[in-house]
Structure 1
Amino acid sequence: MFGDLMGMMGKLKETQAKVEATKKRLDTVLVDENSSDELLKITLTANREIKSISIDDSLLEDKEQLEDYLLLTINRAIEKATKINETELAAIAKDGMPNIPGMDSLFK
């Protein structure tokens, strides 16, 4: 009984270390998103930290249009980054979970 518990605790600590390493690695994974006409370009990390924004000069003439471009493009970039982030962390969580009956159905 205690051997199983100690094994599970060790596995959980190992998984926690892998999660932290993955979060750190995701800081280096860049996600690029462009507006459909490529007048606005956003780059952020898979941890959803904006790294750069490039705005074509033509967008600077219309504040409302620029705001719309920013909202749409940033939200699409965040959605992409979130999918990458969740996929990476879910894979680690699934591999690191102790074998508890019924728990595997949560990760399908």
Structure 2
Amino acid sequence: MFGDLMGMMGKLKETQQKVEATKKRLDTVFLEEASSDGLLKITLTANRKIKTIEIADALLEDKEQLEDYLILALNKAIEKATNVHEAEVAAVAKEGMPNIPGLDMFK
């Protein structure tokens, strides 16, 4: 019984390390989002850190329009990055979870 418990604890610790490694790797996964007309482009990591924002000169003339573009593009970019982040971390966590009866939250 204690051997099983120790094995599960070791497996959980290993999974935790894999999750942390995955999170670090996601800092190197870049995602791009652009407005439909290409006047605004955003690049961010899968960990939701903004790396670049490119704004066409035409948008600089209308503050309100620029603000609208930023809100729309940032929200879409953050959603995309969140989906990638959650899928990657969940895959690693699910792979490393020991089979504990009643704990099927990752299935």
- Do the structures match in fold with TM over 0.5? yes
Q: Which residue of 2 aligns with 1:71?
A: 71
Uncovered stretches (5+) of structure 1, i.e. residues with no partner = none
Normalised by the size of structure 2, how large is the TM-score?
0.97
After superposition, residues 1-108 of structure 1 pair within 5 angstroms as: 1-104=1-104, 106-108=105-107
Deviation at 1:87, TM superposition (A): 0.2
CA RMSD of aligned residues (A): 0.8
- Give the partner amino acid of 2:14: E
Name the SS for the 1:103 alignment partner: coil
Determine what percentage of the aligned residue pairs are the same residue: 78
For residues 39-97 of structure 1, the C-alpha deviation after alignment (integer angstroms, 9 at most, x for no partner) is 00000000000000000000000000000000000000000000000000001111111
Normalised by the size of structure 1, how large is the TM-score?
0.96
In the alignment, the residues of structure 1 paired with residue 59 and residue 9 of structure 2 have an alpha-carbon distance, to the nearest angstrom, of 55
In the alignment, the residues of structure 2 paired with residue 7 and residue 91 of structure 1 have an alpha-carbon distance, to the nearest angstrom, of 21
In the alignment, the residues of structure 2 paired with residue 65 and residue 32 of structure 1 have an alpha-carbon distance, to the nearest angstrom, of 20
In the alignment, the residues of structure 2 paired with residue 102 and residue 29 of structure 1 have an alpha-carbon distance, to the nearest angstrom, of 35
Uncovered stretches (5+) of structure 2, i.e. residues with no partner = none
Name the SS for the 1:32 alignment partner: strand
Deviation at 1:102, TM superposition (A): 3.1
In the alignment, the residues of structure 1 paired with residue 75 and residue 66 of structure 2 have an alpha-carbon distance, to the nearest angstrom, of 14
The count of corresponding residues between Structure 1 and Structure 2 is 107
